[in-house]
Amino acid sequence: MNYYSLNDTKNNAKTSFEEAVVRGIAPDRGLYFPNEIKLLESDFIDNIENYSNEEIAFKVIEQFVNNEIPTDVLKEIIQDTLCFDFPTVKVEENVYSLELFHGPTMAFKDVGARFMARCLGYFNRDKKEETVTVLVATSGDTGGAVASGFLGVKGVEVVILYPSGKVSDIQEKQLTTLGKNITALEVDGVFDDCQDMVKTAFLDAELTEENLTSANSINVARWLPQMFYFFFAYKQLKAEGKELVFSVPSGNFGNICAGMMAYKLGLPVKHFVASTNINDTVPQYMATQEYNPKPSKQTISNAMDVGNPSNFIRIQTLFDNNFEALNQLFSSFSYTDEDTRKTMKEIYGESKYVADPHGAVGYMGLKKFQKAAPETLGVFLETAHPVKFLDVVEETLDVKVPIPEQIKAVLGKEKKAHAIKNYDDLKAYLKNR
Ligand SMILES: *Cc1c(COP(=O)(O)O)cnc(C)c1O
């Protein structure tokens, strides 16, 4: 197996896993994609309950790592990555929440960030002088997960750009207090400004010596480990003997695309629902077959405020750009903040379950699909702990959310960030470190 750029053809699949991880994005600006996807043995899937999470993860990721990391090292990386639980919690009849927020920064991005960091660490093991710089823009959760996942990884410097005053207090603490190889740049602007600066830096020939790479879900080492969640959920729910439907709160569509890769590896799933907030480029596409990216709009489920989801092209590729085939397995629905708050209240009122705004969006998409398929077992992904959206959750539900230990640990620490105003400031920072 090799990777090719989605701006090129499959016949030109010459990129190794290592190169795809280190580069992040192909030189022609395309996303990397595997040229072959092998089905897992049905015996493994039929007996999944007899395997540990680590064993499952190894089987799932092995073909994509392509023997470029020795088995014992890959097993260690997986062990280190999966140092927490992924429980399915029953919310009501035929509806489960798959809680992906029990990691160090309490959002699902921990798994991808930890896995990618450790792969990069391995690939840099013999490089004495040279460092790779991970440059990442965040609207909130990515920054914390990347900071925590990459902390102390040898040969890797991390530079995080975040929009001043636009991330929550907890999110800001998570990305500005760690020190060591993690630097935060506080940008006088909005998320799109941060993202633009990062993109400009990747294209800037004067920065090639800085060995820049990305750590968002375009990087295969952050995207692919997200397949694990869907196998872990199947392992827990298989005994119920019902067909599974997953609803994934979606922004850049990396997580749901990983779920659909899991399906291509042989995981039995009846349907996937991509639930979005009013940033509805994909729901509109599924309704009209016209893809019209738009500038992102701000919502209370802000980790999904994406107007041009990077990974949707990967989903289309999985279905050979055949709309009918995609439409069979995949639906996408969009919801307003008002819908979201109302649903958070309903879930809490009926089940005493505290959903964060992203999880609530996932729940709505699931319920909509299940209306026509009531015999299915539905799973919505709870992508962040409610504490990460404390103000919205406490105000909407009139409850006090207890602060978990992971969060308490950063709240007392001192923020350290360099203020920057524009691309020249970023460039000067990168060159003069
Ligand atoms: C990043 C994020 C999402 C969106 O995930 P994508 O893979 O970008 O679709 C959803 N919920 C939360 C809490 C997130 O942090």
Model pLDDT for residues 369-428, shown as the tens digit of each residue = 999 999 999 999 999 999 999 999 999 999 999 999 989 989 889 999 999 999 999 999
Q: Pocket around ligand 1: residues whose beta carbon is below 6 Å from it?
A: 107, 109, 141, 217, 249-255, 303-304, 358, 383-384
pLDDT digits (tens, 9 = 90+) for 7-45: 999 999 999 999 999 988 888 889 999 999 999 999 999
Residue nearest to atom 2 of ligand 1 (CA): 303
Answer yes or no: are the C-beta atoms of 184 and 175 closer than 8 Å. yes
The pTM of this model reads: 0.95
Percent of the chain with pLDDT over 90: 83
Instruction: Give distance in angstroms: CA of 253 to centre of ligand 1.
Output: 8
Which residues make Cβ contacts (< 8 Å) with residue 299, sequence separation at least 6? 277, 278, 279, 305, 337, 340, 357
Mark out the alpha helices in 204-336 (DSSP H runs): 220-223, 227-237, 254-264, 281-288, 312-318, 323-329
Instruction: Please state, rounded to an integer, the average pLDDT across all residues of the chain.
Output: 95
For a mutational test of ligand 1's pocket, the pick from 252, 256, 279, i.e. the residue with the most ligand atoms closer than 8 A to its C-beta, is 252
pLDDT number for residue 50: 98
Say whether pLDDT at 129 is over 80: no
Percent of the chain with pLDDT over 70: 100
pLDDT number for residue 295: 85
Residues in the chain: 433
Measure Cα distances from 319 to 118, 246, 329 in Å: 31, 18, 10
pLDDT number for residue 334: 98
Instruction: Give distance in angstroms: CA of 251 to centre of ligand 1.
Output: 6
Nearest Cα to 354, choosing from 141, 105, 101, 166? 101
For residue 384, the ligand 1 atom closest to its alpha carbon is 13
Return the SS3 of 99: strand
The architecture of the domain spanning 87-106+223-402 is: 3-Layer(aba) Sandwich (3.40)
Answer yes or no: are the C-beta atoms of 135 and 420 closer than 8 Å. no
For residue 141, the ligand 1 atom closest to its alpha carbon is 15
| Environment class of 217 (CB within 10 Å of its CB; exposed 0-12, middle 13-18, buried 19+) | buried
Say whether pLDDT at 128 is over 80: no
Residue nearest to atom 14 of ligand 1 (CA): 303
Measure Cα distances from 176 to 37, 98, 139 in Å: 39, 29, 14
Which residues make Cβ contacts (< 8 Å) with residue 414, sequence separation at least 6? 177
pLDDT digits (tens, 9 = 90+) for 261-302: 999 999 999 999 999 999 999 999 999 999 999 988 889 998
CA angle 109, 175, 398 (to 5 degrees): 75
Q: Which H or E run contains 212?
A: strand 212-213
**Amino acid sitting at position 116:** M
For residue 257, the ligand 1 atom closest to its alpha carbon is 7
